[in-house]
Structures are given as C-alpha cells and as structure tokens.
Amino acid sequence: MVATITRFFTIEEGEPTMTLATRPRGTNDILPADAELWLELEEKIRRVCHAYGFGEIRTPIFEHTELFQRGIGDTTDIVEKEMYTFTDRGERSLTLRPEGTAPVVRAFLENKLGSGPLPVKLYYYGPMFRYERPQSGRYRQFTQFGFEILGSDDPLLDAESIALPLELYEACGLDGFEVEINSIGCPECRPAYRAALVDYFEPQRDKLCQSCQSRLDRNPLRLLDCKVKGCQPIIASAPTISEYLCADCTDHFSQVLSYLDVLEISYNVNPRLVRGFDYYTRTVFEVKYAALGAQDAIGAGGRYDGLVEECGGQPTPAVGFAVGVERLLLALKAQDKLGESKKSPLAYLIHFGGETKLEAARVAHYFRKRGIWVEMDYMDRSMRAQMKAANRLASRYVLIFGEEELAAGQVLVRNMGDGQQELKDLQQLDELITALGACEK
Ligand code: HAM
C-alpha cells in the first residue's frame, strides 16, 4: 500500500498489507500536535452550541441495527452497503452508528425528553462508521459534530440550523463555502413527484447506470444524486420537485428562505439536492467547500418531521445538521488557517543524575502540581543534549541543577529568550514560579 501523509490524514492507495502495526483501512491516528487543533475546534463547537442554547448528548457507539434500517431507510446506500453490523454473543444484531440523528431520536424517546419544554436542542460530537471506499475526506471512521432540534416545525429553526454551522465555520476563519438548499416535500406531495420521476426515467431506463436502474424501482428520488457521467444529461432534464410541492411545503420553504435573507445568509436553491436518508421531509441543505474536490460537503442536514413517529413516538417535527470534522480540518488546512500548536513548556530542568536528578524531580513535581508544564531528561543525556531538547521544545527557561549550586540550595535559571542567567533559591519555589511569570491553573 502507498500511503501519502497529508499532515492530518493519510490517503491510502491500493490494498494495504496487513501487519500488526497497520491500522484498519479508512481510519486515522490523530497525533499529539494535531490533537491540539482538534481540541481548539471542540472548544469552538461548545462555544457556538452554548450561544444557541444546546445541551450535549452522548449516545452509545452502537445501537440495535433495526434503528438504522427503519430510521435511515432500507433502500439507502448506508443501510444497503455501508453499515458495520455484527451479531453479539447474545445473538442481537448491532450496528456501529453510521450517523447521529437516529440515535438522538431514540434517546429522545427513551428518556422522554419530549415531556419537557419544546423544542429540545441537543448536540453531539463523536465517531461515526461507514464502510465506504476510502479517499481524501472520506473515511470509514470519521467524526461528526451534529445537532438536532426536536418538537417544532418553525421554519426559523431550519434557517438557524444553517446559521449555527456557518457560525462555526466562520469562527474557525473559513470562507468560500457555499450553502445549497432545497425542499423535497412531505408525504403528501412527494408521491406525485416520485410518480413523475418514474414516468420520466422509465422510458430511458436502458441508458441509466446499474445503480440508477435499481434506484428507479426502489427509491427514484435518489437517482438525482447519481454521480455517474453518463446519467448526468438525463438527470439534468428530469422534472424538479418545486413544481410538485403542496401549498404547505411551498409556504414553509419560502419562509425558510426569508429567514435566511433576514440572517444575511447567502444560499443557492438547488432543485436537484436530495439526501441519502429516507427520513428527510421538506428542507434539506448542504454546505460545500469546492477545493476539497469529490468529497466537498463539509456539513449537511435537513428537516425530518416523520422520524420520531417512525421510531414509535408522537408526531414530532424536527430538524438538524452534522459537520464532518475531518473535512472541516482539511478545508481549514487548504486555506492555511490551521497554524501550528504554539504550546511550549515554561521550563526544562537540566540535571546531571544522582542528587541533582532527585532535586530536579522534586521541583518538577512541585510545578506540575500547580498545573505548570515543565520538562526534564529521562535518558541520562549530556548537558548539551538536554539544552538541545529544551530548544526543540521551545522551552522559555532552563533550570540547571548543578552540584555546586545545589549545595548552596540554589538553581541556575536561564532565560532562553535573552540568554540572561540568574541564581534562584530552591527553598522559595513559589517565588521562583512568580519570577518565571507562570500563571498557576
Ligand atoms: P451526512 O450528509 O451523511 O448527514 O453527513 C454529514 C457530514 O458528515 C457530511 O457532510 C460530511 O462532512 C461528513 N461525512 C459523511 N460521511 C463521511 C465519511 N465517510 N468520511 C468523512 N466525513 C464524512 C448525516 O449524517 C445526517 N445525520 C445529518 C443530519 C443531522 N441531518 C439531520 N440532522
């Protein structure tokens, strides 16, 4: 296998040679320097969610398979081809969650969250699993930040479901993304559109790709989402949903667009936008960042007014969105908006073994108990090598625990910025901390 390192994620080409030191295809290791960037992003997510009044929900990584079969839909690509499904030792069929909406709806019902004030606003963050063909921006384990608003059909919430992720993208410094929006109608008006699609595509069946031919029988709306070149001219002339929307859906959609205008959010209405889940009703949307190439959706969502009922609850309208975190990081990287992690230790403690190491260990412990990052040598390295290590870490000070200084109860403090050196008293460590200008946590 050829693996190209792209700072964040590896792109795998060809079949991997399995060794014990090879991670499964389509997964990523996040190493410490990058983990800092993930943490910063998570911090921003929490801040944005807080401003919109969301509470966090954490659901299990796996659920009963039936939840996804019923929720996402039997004829969707995810359920047909992409789920990690297994039978546990108790003969139950379980599935690693491929997305977060169905699990949140399940938790909403199971925990009776609908009995309190509505709407209920929940957000989540964590790994999702889909058996897809890995490529840049498409992984088998990936991370979503998502949120769901349950209990209201207010079109303002559709607009806010777009506003919130845009706040996040902007807080990260990203620009140049585009919002696409459409209404795919409701169970009242969609059957007529479905019939119109079948009438249109059926006479041209032979010219469609194999997948489209099967979609035509099972889920004709999904045909509009086909990426195969040969199908494009046929799809381009297909009837659009806008002509078939019922009065309520038309009104809902025009209100959503009015709210987007009020919130000064630009969008393109894309009448061919359909989504790969059966639960959507009315508004669907996607945010694209073109520079990512084939996998350009950095987030997507929509309204799903029938899902709660489908899962056994009372009719409860709902809307939500999910951001692909890896793709957002790739987009930020493409714009050079990621920067390097700037963290460095306050001090590197240089010792010469024996008593000097004991004292350095005591002082390091004292600093660390106060939340201050200090480093020391564990490899019995020479002073020169320890200085090099301090430089590599961009440590602001080095504390040199020489035998003579130690005998006088002192340590030599060197400011790595200006090279100034000064002896400091080891009995007065709080004063030393103040002198080094570290703020305690
Ligand atoms: P989705 O479009 O399947 O929607 O996923 C949302 C986002 O997750 C995508 O736009 C993309 O950024 C990211 N994503 C999806 N698959 C992958 C993958 N294999 N590798 C990397 N990133 C990926 C949902 O999952 C819906 N549950 C969203 C939603 C929430 N609708 C209503 N509420």
Task: Kindly state whether residues 352 and 329 are assigned to the same domain.
Answer: no
pTM listed for this prediction? 0.92
Counting residues of the chain whose pLDDT is more than 70, the rounded percentage is: 95
In the predicted structure, residue 2 carries a pLDDT above the cut 60: no
In the predicted structure, residue 290 carries a pLDDT above the cut 90: yes
Q: What is the pLDDT of residue 57?
A: 98
| Rounded average pLDDT over 174-202 | 95
C-beta 146 within 6 A of ligand 1: yes
Q: What is the pLDDT of residue 1?
A: 43
Mean pLDDT of the chain: 93
List C-alpha distances in Å: 191 to 169, 187, 247: 36, 7, 15
Asked if residue 44 is part of any domain, the answer here is: yes
Task: Kindly state whether residues 267 and 144 are assigned to the same domain.
Answer: yes
Task: Kindly state whether residues 291 and 356 are assigned to the same domain.
Answer: no
Q: How does residue 421 score in pLDDT terms, banded at 50, 70 and 90? A: very high
Cα–Cα distance, 114 to 99 (Å, whole number): 21
Task: Kindly state whether residues 369 and 254 are assigned to the same domain.
Answer: no
| Rounded average pLDDT over 402-424 | 96
Q: pLDDT tens for residues 10-51?
A: 555 555 567 889 999 999 999 988 898 999 999 999 999 999
Task: Kindly state whether residues 257 and 404 are assigned to the same domain.
Answer: no
Q: Which domain holds residue 250?
A: 4-189+245-334
In the predicted structure, residue 341 carries a pLDDT above the cut 90: no
Task: Kindly state whether residues 159 and 180 are assigned to the same domain.
Answer: yes
Atom of ligand 1 nearest to the CA of 275: 2
| Rounded average pLDDT over 369-386 | 97
Q: How does residue 5 score in pLDDT terms, banded at 50, 70 and 90? A: very low
Q: What is the pLDDT of residue 424?
A: 96
Least confident of 123-127, 162-166, 205-209: 205-209
C-beta 130 within 6 A of ligand 1: yes
Q: How does residue 441 score in pLDDT terms, banded at 50, 70 and 90? A: very low
Query: Of 312, 334, 356, which marks where a domain is finished?
Result: 334
Task: Kindly state whether residues 178 and 297 are assigned to the same domain.
Answer: yes
Task: Kindly state whether residues 152 and 19 are assigned to the same domain.
Answer: yes
Residue nearest to atom 30 of ligand 1 (CA): 321
Asked if residue 76 is part of any domain, the answer here is: yes
- 368: CATH: 3.40.50.800
| Rounded average pLDDT over 335-346 | 82
Q: How far is CA 16 from the centre of its chain?
A: 26
Task: Kindly state whether residues 302 and 392 are assigned to the same domain.
Answer: no
Q: What is the pLDDT of residue 384?
A: 97
Q: What is the pLDDT of residue 33?
A: 83
Q: How far is CA 51 from the centre of its chain?
A: 19
Query: Of 303, 334, 365, which marks where a domain is finished?
Result: 334
State in Å: Cα 144 to ligand 1 middle: 7
Q: What is the pLDDT of residue 3?
A: 47
| Rounded average pLDDT over 378-401 | 97
In the predicted structure, residue 423 carries a pLDDT above the cut 70: yes
C-beta 300 within 6 A of ligand 1: yes
Query: What is the number of domains present in the chain?
Result: 2
State in Å: Cα 290 to ligand 1 middle: 16
Residue scoring higher pLDDT (358 or 219): 358
| Rounded average pLDDT over 143-167 | 98
CB 301 within 8 A of CB 321: yes
- 322: CATH: 3.30.930.10
State in Å: Cα 415 to ligand 1 middle: 49
Cα–Cα distance, 248 to 317 (Å, whole number): 14
CB 3 within 8 A of CB 10: yes
| Rounded average pLDDT over 218-228 | 89
Counting residues of the chain whose pLDDT is more than 90, the rounded percentage is: 87
State in Å: Cα 433 to ligand 1 middle: 47
Beta bridge pairs of residue 265: none
Task: Kindly state whether residues 255 and 304 are assigned to the same domain.
Answer: yes
Q: What is the pLDDT of residue 440?
A: 46
In the predicted structure, residue 323 carries a pLDDT above the cut 70: yes
C-beta 73 within 6 A of ligand 1: no
Atom of ligand 1 nearest to the CA of 100: 27
| Rounded average pLDDT over 233-250 | 95
In the predicted structure, residue 223 carries a pLDDT above the cut 60: yes
Task: Kindly state whether residues 91 and 139 are assigned to the same domain.
Answer: yes
C-beta 160 within 6 A of ligand 1: no
Cα–Cα distance, 105 to 123 (Å, whole number): 12
In the predicted structure, residue 251 carries a pLDDT above the cut 60: yes
State in Å: Cα 166 to ligand 1 middle: 16
Asked if residue 157 is part of any domain, the answer here is: yes
Asked if residue 92 is part of any domain, the answer here is: yes
State in Å: Cα 328 to ligand 1 middle: 12
In the predicted structure, residue 256 carries a pLDDT above the cut 90: yes
Residue scoring higher pLDDT (5 or 303): 303
Q: For residue 118, which of 322, 321, 315 has the smallest C-alpha distance?
A: 315
Residue 117 phi/psi, 5-degree rounding, is: -65, 145
Q: pLDDT tens for residues 50-86?
A: 999 999 999 999 999 999 999 999 889 999 999 999 9
CB 269 within 8 A of CB 261: no
Task: Kindly state whether residues 284 and 138 are assigned to the same domain.
Answer: yes
Asked if residue 211 is part of any domain, the answer here is: no
| Rounded average pLDDT over 411-439 | 93
Residue found by looking up tokens 């073109």 in the block: 290
Query: Of 285, 301, 334, which marks where a domain is finished?
Result: 334
Residue scoring higher pLDDT (260 or 335): 260
Cα–Cα distance, 256 to 304 (Å, whole number): 15
Asked if residue 219 is part of any domain, the answer here is: no
Q: How does residue 250 score in pLDDT terms, banded at 50, 70 and 90? A: very high
